[in-house]
Chain A
Amino acid sequence: MTGLMSDILESAVTLTAIEKSFGAVRALAGVDLLLKPGECLGLVGHNGAGKSTLMHVLAGTLKPDQGRLVIGTQDVSRQYSASNASAHGIRCVFQELSLCPNLTLAENVRIVHRALKGIGWKAKARRLIGEKLDEIFPGHGIDVDQEAGDLNIGQRQMAEIARAFTVTDEPLRVVILDEPTSSLDAVTARQLLTFMRQEVARGTSTILISHLLGDVLDYCDRIAVMKDGKVVAEKEAQNFTRHSLVAAMGATAEKAGPGTTARRRISSALTIEATPLTATQTGKLSVRKGEIVGLAGLAGHGQTRMLIQIFDGARKHSAAFIAGDRQSDGVFNLWSIGENVTVSALRHLRKGPLIRPEHEHNMARNWKQRIGIRTPDMNNNILTLSGGNQQKALFARALGSKADIVLMDDPMRGVDIGTKLEVYEMIRAEAEAGRSFVWYTTEIDELKHCDRAYIFRNGAIVAELQGDELSEDKVLHASFAESA
């Protein structure tokens, strides 16, 4: 018996030489990957490396052009579909969430469980999801009879994760988590990862895709690194360091941590001042010219609403918005990448009343280079980009406008580490040049790039922290403490 055969025998899933192309884009260029029972595999790679595509293949929602898929010992390459996958116990939390917004959470559970039918199905579904939510995210505060569309993006993500772990008559063998923490705050993210370890201990295999390398290093058993549609490195997690992981991904090596940069001098000119409308007892927010102001606190406590309030209140065209929920607030599905980038700057690309196409092209080309959007052609449709690259296009849109204030709604969701560093740099440069930023983030690490931060709780500002106070401890403390 060869080594390979023995590997397959003891594996939960084996993918061999998987290839997949979208037109000219070769998303997967012959991927081999193996998942053992009861292990947690970390999958990392730059934006557009092919991680999500590979997971779609595994979940049966995309047919590969080439390659073999073996589940347990059964070769399923021929007849494989989404319902097959779920019958084999493979579940997936997709990067773009897939709840039906018009259905309640309980009803959303029914969709993935064919066994839920007949009289009393609803009570069963309600119990299933409710118990799972309690188990994974104690204190989640989500009502299972709420329509998914009424939840904010973080709650939707929590619900979908919980749904993936519910069990009826089909086995639970593999759970794929594609950037599950992108919209979760630090606390809920921790809850999820802890639960994931428990699940793994019970024998379920999981695949965790994340751009937060710390999480991957800490919580996974093994890590596979993808680059340009191939797996380029695959080792036990303890054999990677943060540094070697970044190097394997092919991103520019991480520079000396941020925060070390000397505090910049900020002009005293006040750009905006605002008070959250939704809360009675609340502090006031103010932003100066050239300042980077963070909004922090647990997800769903009114930060997005604050940003929108500022956006609506701002003078015309003086504010730009970078959505984190790019599906519903960001991209224009039918447009090319170029059109998506230039849309906020159109008024400056005109001669007389008419937009000049050559100016538009120039701008698009310019930003493709500046922000490194991975695409052969900016005239391609925006949806051909990977999630992270779509997000980059939204950055380009906002930074390319002439707005004085840039409002960022947790904008780094799904952006890879290399790009993040570049974007941090760009934000800093823009701030030097006099632009103001208001930055809501669920990653406490990111607050280090801010000059100041406001902590939100229940729609109100409960604390203001200066740059040197922005440590994880202090932020979490402020997020939970009773308001003074």
Chain B
Amino acid sequence: MTNIWTKLRAQPWIWSFIAMIAVWLATIAFTGGQGAGEILTAALSFATFTIIIGLGQMMVITTGPGNVDLSIPATITLAGVVATKVMDTDNARLLIGILAALGASFVVGLFNYGLIRLLRIPPIIATLSSSFLILSTAISYGRGIRIKPPPMLADFATTRILGVPLLAIFVLALSIGIALLIKRTLYGRTVLAIGQNPRAARLAGLNVDLTRFATYLLSALLAGVTGIVLSGFSGGAALNMGEGFLLASIAVVVIGGTSVAGGRANVPGIWGAALFIYLLDTMLNTFGASAGIRLIMTGVIIIAVITIAGGDRQQR
């Protein structure tokens, strides 16, 4: 028993799950047990979006200090706008819509990496700048008009099986895939190696450029996927649909135990952190706290979680 606990304690992701459960218990204690299951279901549906982009952001952050993708929110918006406009509420155009949206995301990834590699712009500024361009593209293409998703997309995004959102199951599969990618493929190992020491990685014969490129591409594509399913989920794309995801994508990655210094990634932690952040918001809403108190509590709890969890984490 104690043995399991010591083992668990060593896992960097465990704290996000503990925090999540604590917050959930606090919520249902307040409501007297009412809605315990439904809250979790809602958390699962909404956390999935954060998880998808969190996975992409995690890969980027893992490639080393300074690497971060700030263009995720804009890419979500662009993909959502392109998808719904191309699909034009028609089930038959579903596939071509998805392809168009992913194509747009692909271009975003290409562009981001071009800025970083060819113009040697630090990623944080490169992706920030490109996010403005992406948003402008979305504005001029979509004109701020909200087009409904085709029924098939909406159904896919909202269907539940025994209370578990279908989407969550897909994202679980995706997460396992990414975890496998990191641990067991050459690409994943290269990402981890670059994150620790890019020069050593190059001299160890790893393909640094291609891997970084693939990583920014992956992040953009995952943002694109999020844009598509999110517009299916919430009844269309809007220009501000990505707004909440900038800080969230970074927060779930770091709270989930991924090292901001690079070289260490953690997939389960992203689940814990995404659910935690959603449930934290729910808890504060349920308590009926005022906006000020809610913001303060959010900050305090995030810092508290990382303080409890982060103590023995190795940092460079």
Contact = CB atoms under 8 A, between A and B. Distances in A.
Direct contact of A and B (CB under 8 A): yes
30 contacts: A317-B205, A320-B205, A321-B203, A321-B204, A323-B203, A328-B197, A328-B199, A331-B200, A332-B193, A333-B263, A333-B316, A334-B263, A334-B264, A334-B314, A339-B189, A343-B204, A344-B205, A344-B206, A346-B186, A346-B189, A347-B186, A353-B186, A354-B180, A354-B184, A354-B185, A355-B183, A355-B185, A357-B184, A401-B205, A403-B205
A227 interface: no
B314 A353 contact: no
A449 B244 CA distance: 64
A341 to B, nearest CB: 11
A339 B264 CA distance: 13
Nearest to B183: A355
B63 interface: no
A397 to B, nearest CB: 7
Contacts of B205: 317, 319-321, 344, 401, 403
Contacts of B204: 321, 343-344, 397
Contacts of A401: 205
Interface string B188-224: 0100110011011101111000000000000000000
Interface in A332-379: 332-335, 339, 343-344, 346-347, 350, 353-355, 357
A330 interface: yes
A329 B197 CA distance: 8
Contacts, number: 66
Given A332-B263, A354-B185, A355-B186, A343 B193 contact: yes
B186 A350 contact: yes
A335 B195 CA distance: 11
Contact of B184 (A323, A330, A355, A403): A355
A350 B185 CA distance: 8
Given A329-B199, A330-B200, 12 more contacts: A321-B205, A331-B197, A332-B193, A332-B197, A334-B192, A334-B264, A335-B192, A335-B193, A350-B186, A354-B184, A355-B185, A357-B184
Most buried by A among B184, B189, B204, B263: B204
A240 interface: no
A409 to B, nearest CB: 9
Contacts of B186: 346-347, 350, 353, 355
Interface in B26-51: none
B196 A333 contact: yes
B200 A323 contact: yes
A271 to B, nearest CB: 17
Interface of A: 311, 317, 319-321, 323, 328-335, 339, 343-344, 346-347, 350, 353-355, 357, 397, 401, 403
A385 B192 CA distance: 21
Most buried by B among A319, A330, A332, A335: A332
A126 B193 CA distance: 39
A56 B224 CA distance: 52
A266 to B, nearest CB: 25
Q: Is the interface of A mostly helix, strand, loop or mixed?
A: mixed
A347 B206 CA distance: 10
B203 A329 contact: yes
Nearest to A383: B314
Most buried by A among B185, B197, B203: B203
Contacts of B192: 332, 334-335
A335 B189 CA distance: 11
A329 B193 CA distance: 12
A334 B199 CA distance: 15
A319 B206 CA distance: 11
A335 B196 contact: yes
A343 B201 CA distance: 9
A311 B206 CA distance: 12
A403 to B, nearest CB: 7
B189 A355 contact: yes
A318 to B, nearest CB: 9
B18 to A, nearest CB: 24
A397 B203 CA distance: 11
A81 B201 CA distance: 36
Contacts of B263: 332-334
Contacts of B199: 328-329
Nearest to B189: A346
A311 B203 contact: yes
Contacts of B180: 354
A99 B184 CA distance: 37
Nearest to A319: B205
Given A334-B196, A403-B205, A343 B316 contact: no
B193 A353 contact: no
Interface in B292-316: 314, 316
Contacts of B185: 353-355
Contacts of B189: 339, 343, 346, 355
